[in-house]
Chain A
Amino acid sequence: MSITEKILCSKSHEFLLDNGDNTYTVGLTDYAVEQLGDIVFLELPEEGTEYKKGDTFATVESVKAASEIYMPVSGKVIAVNTSAADSPEILNEDCFEKGWLVKIELTGNEAEQADLLDYEDYKEEIE
């Protein structure tokens, strides 16, 4: 099963991946990355920080502009992709696997995922 078959996407272009071990990975969708163009800077949160669904948890900068990245669900950051922060261009190469942003433990309930779309529906939504 490819990764795009497993992820859920927000309308603000973040993805949420259930890792199957009570942890989730959060990143930016390929559409977001393509729209941004060359990614040149990434500001990621500290491990241990807790966010509510919809909070800004990171900032991504393309050559042209800075954009905020929002939590698709409530969660506590348990891992940060420091290699993406060091080499943000890896998001342009592979946003789903190498270019993930943070791993979290959920702190909210399942209902928070109700407005997230599977990848096929997300693609349709943005077209």
Chain B
Amino acid sequence: MAAEYVKYVDVTKCDGCRACMVACKNWNDLPAEPQDFLGTMQSHANVSADTWNVLTFVEHENSKGGLDYLFRHSSCYHCSDAACEKVCPENAISYTEFGTVVIDQDTCVGCGYCVQNCPFDVISLKEYKDKNGKEYRKAHKCTMCTDRLEEGLQPACVTTCHTGAMEFGGKDAMIEKAEERVKEIKDRYPNAMVYNPEGVGGTHTIYVLAERPSVYGMPENPKVPTSAVLWKDYAQPIGKMMIGATTMAVVGAFISNKLFNKEGNGTHEDGGESDE
């Protein structure tokens, strides 16, 4: 068993240079996605199938009435209890030995359940055409550079960060570092906190935030949707036991309805408001 690693992101050290975005595109060979001006310094509204991390820029009025310009490296959180992994009907999404969550592109059928159920909105579908012109889709997201981890290397975004806002290391060490950092910055940022939400079993990208998560457009208390738990932990095993087709049809219909009805599946019930 390899060590479980965590990407540590201290947003208070980020200067918004976006080198992490470039390094990600470069390493993963992702094409550029030209964007219209969004009215802010932020280049892309959100992550996409070809842009796996986005530097978000948030203008925020702090408690002293001053303006804070908040930068955040945003990408897949690699949840310990990942909703995407639970809902994938093809078992195309799995955990690696490092704790990262990856999509097997050969197995993915592009159903979009993972996109619908991710509490952080970090998975996207990309459309392709095969040689016969038939359209198909595949889900994409940050892999935490698992191919680099296998070689003992840190993720590309971390190695390029020139301010030291991102670090990579053993889970316990990184969590301890984050907690220490919060103590250091509490005077300057009274709302500072470690973001490592328990509702998804903790994540493998943890943040030191200067403000509440909602200020950054992050859910305050993300949870694995109930429907996702039902699907993976109950419906699939039941299906495999081949009980009556009628029962499966009823259970399947209920869950499918929940999986595709994002607004009603509980994902954002405790979520924060997006600033975008």
Q: Do A and B bind each other?
A: no
> Which A residues are closer than 8 A to B by beta carbons?
none
